Amino acid sequence: MKTSPKNIKGVMEDRLPKKVVQALKAAGEVAEGMNYSAYLVGGLVRDLLLGVENLDVDITVEGEGIAFAEKLAQRLSGRVKGITRFGTAIVTLRGGFKIDVATARREYYERPAALPTVQKSSIREDQFRRDFTINAMAIKLNPGEFGKLIDFFAGERDLKRGVVRALHKKSFLDDPTRIFRAVRFSERYQFKIDEGTKDLIKQATNLAMFDELTIERVRDELVLILSEENPARAIKKMAELHELKFIHPRIKLNKQLRKLLGNLEEVLSWFRSSFPKEKPSPWLIYFSALLRGLTLKEARAACQRFHLSRKDEEKVIKGKEGVSRKLRELGKEKPRPSQIYLQLESLPLESLLVVMARASRIVRERISLYLRELRRARLKVTGDDLKELGLRPGPKFAELLKKTLIAKLDGSLKTKEDELNYVKMNISRMRR
């Protein structure tokens, strides 16, 4: 392990916005004045070398991180926020630009997956506690050495070869979220996961422990993976590395799930091109797909274990509950538009897209009709019109409006007058 003498100041100046380079130079000068060393670390270093845009500035200092953050904020007329007992803080600049500051530290874990206990240390130790070699490079910021690439673990070589490699054997036990991060980076950059690292992941899937805090962080990682460009491929990779059992022991990448994933890709690409303004959460859709083989009760338990919001849990459940029956109804010969509407109206968009991915070609067309037209159908008569006709708001009121909408969907009411006449006819029937 040697320190690379390479200097990438030129790359920084070429690829980063001027404002960021100036802030980094200022950080180096502030550190120098305090007799500290400051380094740019983490994802930005990796992406800078890859030529990928990233503006998440993480600075680690050998010294007192918080005192440094305060001086840096003064120098750049910014503010310090979010100070933690781990020696981290955020410097926010005018215009909302943020710099994350940390104190170089060595974390040791009293038990696997526990909150780290922090000790101040050198940049080398700080980098050694990180997840992968490609994320464990630093760039020195002090004047005179500005731009010097610090690469103790051959991260640059792995970047060039396209390899995700853990830094040490205990990495995944220290932090089980890394089991998913490996897949995320490998997917994002189309990198291979090093064979030894794959073995460590598989071992960790049997040994790693999840306390409540870790579960939430695992959920956050899952959300990120399933929000990257090709979630289906990521899921296949997770399956190869035995990671799916972390989500639920009964999730298997079997024929049914493979087919669903393939169909989802088609359905989502159709949906995105047809409705570019609507943004259903892809992660929730793929998370629902993963739970396809579970019972409703198991799916609910999985959602609760990952502390999904109530709303998200409902979306998952609605993409499962009674779906076979709905698909049967929708598959019947020549359904009326209102029949299609009534089967689908209660489904949130994400659930609807999962249902669509499970549907036959003909049913998909019917769902597509719902998405393109039926769900947007609105009456011209309003609640006020009904009040003028002497009706008081209440369940009957809503029932009547719905009945009118159904008649409209099926094409028998064209104008507002048609609607009003229909309403009046029904009122007199109700009164009879």
Helix (H) or strand (E) holding 119: strand 117-120
Q: How far is CA 321 from CA 197, 207, 315, in A?
A: 39, 34, 10
Query: 156-175 mask for ligand CTP (x: CB under 6 A)?
Result: -------------------x
Closer residue to ligand CTP in complex, CB, 155/337: 155
Which of 16, 52, 57, 13 lies closest to 38 in space, CA to CA? 57
Q: How many residues bind ligand CTP (CB under 6 A)?
A: 12
Instruction: Tell me how far, at minimum, the Cβ of 10 lies from ligand CTP, in Å.
Output: 23
- Cβ(336)–Cβ(401) under 8 Å? no
The reply to whether 135 sits near ligand CTP by the rule CB under 6 A is yes
Phi, psi of 120 (to 5 degrees): -70, 145
The reply to whether 315 sits near ligand CTP by the rule CB under 6 A is no
Cα–Cα distance, 20 to 123 (Å, whole number): 22
Token pair of 10, please?
């030129």
Instruction: Tell me how far, at minimum, the Cβ of 171 lies from ligand CTP, in Å.
Output: 8
Instruction: Tell me how far, at minimum, the Cβ of 240 lies from ligand CTP, in Å.
Output: 21
- Cβ(312)–Cβ(219) under 8 Å? no
Closer residue to ligand CTP in complex, CB, 29/47: 47
Q: Which stretch binds ligand CTP (CB under 6 A): 105-113, 127-135, 373-381, 403-411?
A: 127-135
Instruction: Tell me how far, at minimum, the Cβ of 421 lies from ligand CTP, in Å.
Output: 59
Query: 21-60 mask for ligand CTP (x: CB under 6 A)?
Result: ---------------------xx----------x-x----
The reply to whether 419 sits near ligand CTP by the rule CB under 6 A is no
The reply to whether 177 sits near ligand CTP by the rule CB under 6 A is yes
Instruction: Tell me how far, at minimum, the Cβ of 117 lies from ligand CTP, in Å.
Output: 16
Instruction: Tell me how far, at minimum, the Cβ of 189 lies from ligand CTP, in Å.
Output: 10
Phi, psi of 91 (to 5 degrees): -100, 120
Closer residue to ligand CTP in complex, CB, 62/131: 131
The reply to whether 197 sits near ligand CTP by the rule CB under 6 A is no
The reply to whether 292 sits near ligand CTP by the rule CB under 6 A is no
Q: How far is CA 22 from CA 25, 179, 256, in A?
A: 5, 36, 54
Please give the full DSSP string across 375-424, using - where no structure is assigned: GG---SS-HHHHHHTTPPSSHHHHHHHHHHHHHHHTTS--SHHHHHHHHH
The reply to whether 131 sits near ligand CTP by the rule CB under 6 A is yes
Which of 184, 176, 234 lies closest to 205 in space, CA to CA? 176
Neighbour count for residue 340 (Cβ, 10 Å): 21
The reply to whether 105 sits near ligand CTP by the rule CB under 6 A is no
The reply to whether 187 sits near ligand CTP by the rule CB under 6 A is no
293: left (phi over 0), alpha (psi -120 to 50) or beta: alpha
Instruction: Tell me how far, at minimum, the Cβ of 221 lies from ligand CTP, in Å.
Output: 8
Closer residue to ligand CTP in complex, CB, 181/237: 181
Q: Measured at CB, which residue is nearest to ligand CTP?
A: 43
The reply to whether 116 sits near ligand CTP by the rule CB under 6 A is no
Please give the full DSSP string across 236-247, using - where no structure is assigned: HHHHHTT-HHHH
Closer residue to ligand CTP in complex, CB, 4/54: 54
Across the strands, what pairs with 62? 37
Question: Which positions lie near ligand CTP, rule CB under 6 A?
Answer: 42-43, 54, 56, 130-131, 135-136, 175, 177-178, 181
